[in-house]
Amino acid sequence: MSPVLVTGGSGYLATHLIAALLRAGRPVRATVRSTAGETGLRAAVRRGGGDDGGLEVVAADLMADGGWPAAVAGCEEVHHVASPVPVAQPEDPDELIVPAREGTLRVLRAARDAGVRRVVLTSSFAAVGYTPKPGAEFTEADWTDPDTPGLAAYPRSKAIAERAAWELMGRDGGDTELVVVNPTAILGPALTADLRSSTQLVKAMLDGTMSVAPRQRFGVVDVRDVADLHLRAMAAPEAAGKRFLAVADGPTLSLLEVAQILRRRLGPPARRVPTREAPGDEPPRPIIHNDRARGELGWRPRAVETTVVETAESLWKLGLLEAVP
C-alpha cells in the first residue's frame, strides 16, 4: 500500500491526522523541518492510538525545494498541513506569507509531478471570513480579501496561500485533484507537550496567566474532527475541487464563554479562569455554516463543550498544569 504523505508532521493537527491514518491501517510518511524531534513525534502518535511502526519521517522545509520530490515519491494521497502558525503576529508579514504561499506551491507542484491523485490542503476560516460583511454569515462561497484594511499577517498568509493553490491547480494541476479544509479555531486534546496555537489559550486560562478574557468571538472545531474531515475529503470522489468549512454546530463562542464552560464543567481546578471580559465593544457574532461537510461528507463534529473540557484534561495528562487538587 502506498504511504500517505502528511506535511508538518510534528504539529498539533498533523499528529492527530497521522494517528488517525495509522489507526485506519494506512502507512504514513510525515515531513518535518528537522528530524531532531522524531522521537517526540512518534510518542505523540502513540498517545493518539497510532502504531508508529507504520510511520516514516523525512525532512523537508517549506522554504526550500529539496526534500519535496523525495517526500511525495510513491504517494497517491497528500495532506498538506504545514504552514507557519505564529504565537504573535510578526512585524514583517512576509515571514508568514512567503512560507505559506511558496511552501504550498512547492508541495502542490511536487505532488502534481509525482502523479499524486489528490491533495487535501489545510487552509483556514481566516481565508474565508476575515473580510467584514453585513450579517457576518459565512459559507464556502466567501473569501477573505488579503487587502482588507488592518488584516493581520496570519489570515493574509492563509488567504494568499489558498488562492495561490486554487490558481495553480486550475491552470496547471495535471491530473492531481485539490480539496481544501477551512477550520475555525482548533481546540481539543494536545498530543505533545510542545503546546501550539489555540491550546495555549486554554492553558493561559487555567493557570491564571489570562486574568481577563479578551473580547473575541470565534468558531471552534475539535482537532480530532478536523483530522476526520481531512480523511473524508480525501476519500469522497465528489469532494474534488471544493472547500469545506470545519466548525462545530451551534453559535460561535466568546473567550469568556470558553472560560465559563471550564468553570462549570471542571469545578475547583478551573478556579483561576477569568470571570470578566476586557472592556470594549461587543465583537461581531459570525454565523459559520458547516452544511457542506455535514451533507456531502457525512461529517459529524463533536459538541464544543466536550472539545473545551477535553483540551483542559489533556493539559493535565501531559503535565502542563499543576496537579488537580
Residues 198-217 that bind ligand NAP (CB under 6 A): 198
Give the amino acid at 220. Answer: V
The phi, psi pair for 238, rounded to 5°, reads: -75, -5
Nearer to ligand NAP, 14 or 308 (CB): 14
Q: Using CB under 6 A, which of the segments 6-14, 22-30, 234-242, 317-325 binds ligand NAP? A: 6-14
- Which of 35, 39, 51, 63 lies at the binding interface for ligand NAP (CB under 6 A)? 63
Measured from the Cβ of residue 194, the count of other Cβ atoms closer than 10 Å reads: 14
Exactly one of 3, 11, 48, 54 binds ligand NAP (CB under 6 A); which one?
11
Instruction: Tell me how far CA of residue 25 lies from CA of 12, 53, 207, 235, in angstroms.
Output: 21, 11, 38, 15
# chain residues binding ligand NAP, by CB under 6 A: 27
Q: By CB under 6 A, which span of 78-86, 107-115, 130-138, 257-265 interacts with ligand NAP?
A: 78-86
What phi and psi, each to the nearest 5 degrees, are found at residue 106? Answer: -60, -45
Task: Tell me the closest approach of the beta carbon of residue 289 to ligand NAP, in angstroms.
Answer: 16
Nearer to ligand NAP, 82 or 210 (CB): 82
Interface residue with ligand NAP among 8, 269, 286, 301 (CB under 6 A) is 8
Q: How far apart, in whole angstroms, are the C-alpha atoms of residue 16 and residue 230?
A: 11
Distance separating alpha carbons of residues 292 and 171, to the nearest angstrom:
25
Binding string, residues 153-192; x marks residues near ligand NAP by CB under 6 A:
-----x------------------------x-xx------
* 23 near ligand NAP, judged by CB under 6 A: no
Report d(CA 242, CA 120) in Å as an integer. Answer: 10
Distance from CA of residue 99 to its chain's centroid? 16
Contacts of 227 (CB under 8 A, 6+ apart): 13, 16, 17, 19, 20
**Count of C-beta atoms within a 10 Å radius of residue 277:** 17
Q: Can residue 54 be called a binding residue for ligand NAP (CB under 6 A)?
A: no
Q: Is 304 in the site for ligand NAP (CB under 6 A)?
A: no
Closest chain position to ligand NAP (CB) = 11
Judged by CB under 6 A, the stretch of 9-17, 209-217, 265-273, 292-300 that binds ligand NAP is 9-17
For ligand NAP, the binding residue among 22, 82, 178, 233 (CB under 6 A) is: 82
Q: How far apart are the C-alpha atoms of 3 and 42, rounded to whole Å?
A: 16
- Spatial separation of the C-alpha atoms in residues 144 and 93, rounded to whole Å: 16
Residue in 43, 61, 139, 294 binding ligand NAP, rule: CB under 6 A: 61
Distances (CA, A) of 229 to 20, 188, 191, 288: 11, 15, 18, 16
Q: Is 158 a catalytic residue?
A: yes
Residues forming contacts to ligand NAP in the complex (CB under 6 A) are 8, 10-14, 32-33, 61-63, 81-85, 99, 103, 122, 124, 158, 183, 185-186, 196-198
Q: Which residues are catalytic?
A: 158
